[in-house]
Chains A and B, each alone.
Chain A
Amino acid sequence: MSYLPAYKLSPLGDSALLVDFGNIISRPVNDTVISLFKKIQSTPVEGMTEVVPGYSSLAVYYDVLRLRGKIEDGQTVFQFMKDKISVLLQEEFKPVADTETNMVKIPVCYEKEFATDLEWMSSQLRISTEEIIRLHTSNVYHVFMLGFLPGFAYMGEVDEKIMIPRKQQPVQVAAGSVGIAGKQTGVYPLISPGGWQIIGRTPVNMFNKNEKEPTLVKTGDSIQFYSITKDEFENIKSRHS
């Protein structure tokens, strides 16, 4: 059975609408978002330009000019799309548990020069850096969504012992940096200002514009990090550049 939580349909401007399942980070809700995302992507609604999943929401973008001819006098394209999406939401969809998830293993070097916030975290949380690394590499993470930067995956949830708030002020973060914010973890694909606490760096490209599929991971994937040495980091790095 597919699971459809309560939702709100609201406009995101005049060329998109948002299916909003509430302001929550929840695996069952996100599974529904991913199922609907996959369903809409494989069978697009006419006039739709793209669909973008969030943690607990789905934005459906559409082309007003292309849909103008479809609607009756006095109706708006928005109402037309809203009705279409409402119908679609009531249909049966394939629960995400029934579809295959892609497992991606990502090497991370947790050594001091890359892990700019690891020692601070260790003293804040009163856990050894080794234990933080062990905990960070022991969970299998779910990719809730991609956003913020090309290829930036919001993953979770981290062990509650290593949950830590983000920084008050963002700082410049190197490409490949692995961070934690609250119960989320993620990798910065590109050099960027960022507020997450940085505990290591991966030598693999999370985003590669030259690949047919430019991002290493996708929404719905399962991720596990594993620890590598500085030498291994340099080794992999030289093969990837």
Chain B
Amino acid sequence: MSLRILKAGILDSIQDKGRYGFQHLGINPTGVMDKYAATIANILVGNNPGDAVIEMHFPVSVFLFDQSAIIALAGADFTATINGEFIPINQPVIINKSSVLQFHFIKNKTRCYMAVKGGFKCTKWLNSYSTNLKAEAGGIEGRKLLKDDVIELIDKYDFLKILGDNDFRILPWKANESWDEINNNEIFVLPGPEWDWLDVGTQQKFLSATFDITNNSDRMGYRLSGEVLHSVKKEELISSAVCFGTIQLLPDGQLIILMADSQTTGGYPRIGTVISAHLSRLAQLKPGEKIKFSFADHPVAESLILKQQLHLLQLQNACTFRLENFILENN
């Protein structure tokens, strides 16, 4: 019993929290772009926060469920329907067997996550389910989902009593996704190892200008366009570690922010790094949107990681309790 792809989307792949511990071999962590939203989807169905989900980009695949399951969508709202009827994001939904889940238009954001209670039956590669597209490993054969792919589900439920003849049932609790006073365009950064390769005037430009996210932006990195910045040092940087959130200054004076599929090392000056708590927000921006960088310090960056985590923990406690009770009463 399983989940079947009736029609392939542009880029849907299995991702979990990432594959860590192999960067010294050049193997990049990959993993979900928006860890926060993926965690919410997992929490809503009672999975562990870092479990594998399907990360979806619009236009999204069409999914046929061969069995009933508890699912949740989080992150972008791509107006999902089950057999033609709309279902919300941030809420657990029981989907009946032989039902079709599809997505119609982009209401907001860029990446939607689907978690299924119990998870997907696929093989781990180096301790992670994440799809590494470049290494062609992890997830489903190391690639994006294609038409006729069948993803086995681990848990088997029979929700006959609850569902009856209905195609689905939306469970009556909802995850509140806001954890912070958010100004979507303001991204906090810490100065990078080569910050002092910029002179004071250029540093000020970096912090005062707004930058456009260009079309040349994907899971590997976001190319920005805006004020041309120049390094005062003309030397070439020899290869050194980079990570999700590293802001590099390219030879043409433009910036790139490295994202989840970035390389492990790079040779361009690292002038800043986006703080962890703002990566999720960044991951949901799309080409054409503008961003502005502001400096944070470690006390701020770390307290925001904690604040985000506390919100997720509260959510997890509440959702786990309600879901367990629901299953006890109805199965």
Contacts and interface: CB of A to CB of B under 8 A. Distances in A.
A218 interface: yes
Interface stretch (A16-24, A88-96, A110-118): A16-24
A215 B245 contact: no
A89 B317 CA distance: 42
Interface in B21-74: 21-28
A14 B298 contact: yes
B239 interface: yes
Interface in A128-165: 145-152, 154
A55 interface: yes
Interface in A3-20: 8, 10-16, 18, 20
Contact of A54 (B191, B240, B306): B240
Contact of B23 (A8, A50, A79, A149): A50
Contacts of A55: 238-240
Contacts of B266: 147-148
Contacts of B309: 65
Contacts of A51: 24
B302 A14 contact: yes
A64 B240 contact: no
B313 to A, nearest CB: 10
Contacts of A196: none
Nearest to B188: A14
B26 A13 contact: no
A12 B273 contact: yes
A72 to B, nearest CB: 13
B264 A147 contact: yes
Contacts of A56: 238, 240
B96 interface: no
A49 interface: yes
Nearest to B236: A23
Nearest to A51: B24
Contact of B241 (A59, A151, A214, A215): A59
Contact of B301 (A14, A23, A190): A14
Contacts of B299: 76
A148 B240 contact: no
Interface stretch (B134-142, B162-170, B205-213): B134-142
Given A150-B135, A152-B26, A14 B276 contact: yes
B94 interface: no
A210 B298 CA distance: 40
B135 A54 contact: no
B221 to A, nearest CB: 14
A207 B238 contact: no
B274 interface: yes
Interface residues of A, number: 51
A117 B36 CA distance: 47
A154 B299 CA distance: 37
Interface in B181-215: 190-193
- Interface size range of chain B in the complex: 35 or more
Given A14-B298, A23-B235, A52 B126 contact: no
A20 B193 contact: yes
B243 A54 contact: no
Contact of A146 (B26, B126, B242): B26
A68 interface: yes
Interface string B251-295: 000000000000111100010011110000000000000000000
Contacts of B263: 147-149
Given A78-B298, A214-B25, A147 B239 contact: yes
Contact of A190 (B28, B134, B192, B243): B134
A37 interface: yes
A16 B235 CA distance: 25
B314 to A, nearest CB: 15
Interface string B125-169: 110000010111100001000000000000000000000000000
A49 B17 CA distance: 13
Interface in A183-241: 189-190, 192, 207, 209, 214-215, 218-219
A79 B298 CA distance: 9
Contact of A151 (B23, B26, B238, B306): B26
A25 interface: yes
B125 A13 contact: no
B243 A145 contact: no
A53 B23 CA distance: 9
A150 B238 contact: no
B238 A54 contact: yes
A121 interface: no
Interface in A41-73: 41, 49-57, 59, 61, 64-65, 68
Contacts of B301: 13-14
Closest 6 CB pairs of A and B: A147-B265, A59-B241, A13-B273, A54-B240, A14-B301, A209-B137
12 contacts: A10-B193, A11-B191, A13-B273, A23-B235, A50-B23, A52-B24, A55-B238, A78-B302, A145-B265, A146-B25, A147-B241, A151-B27
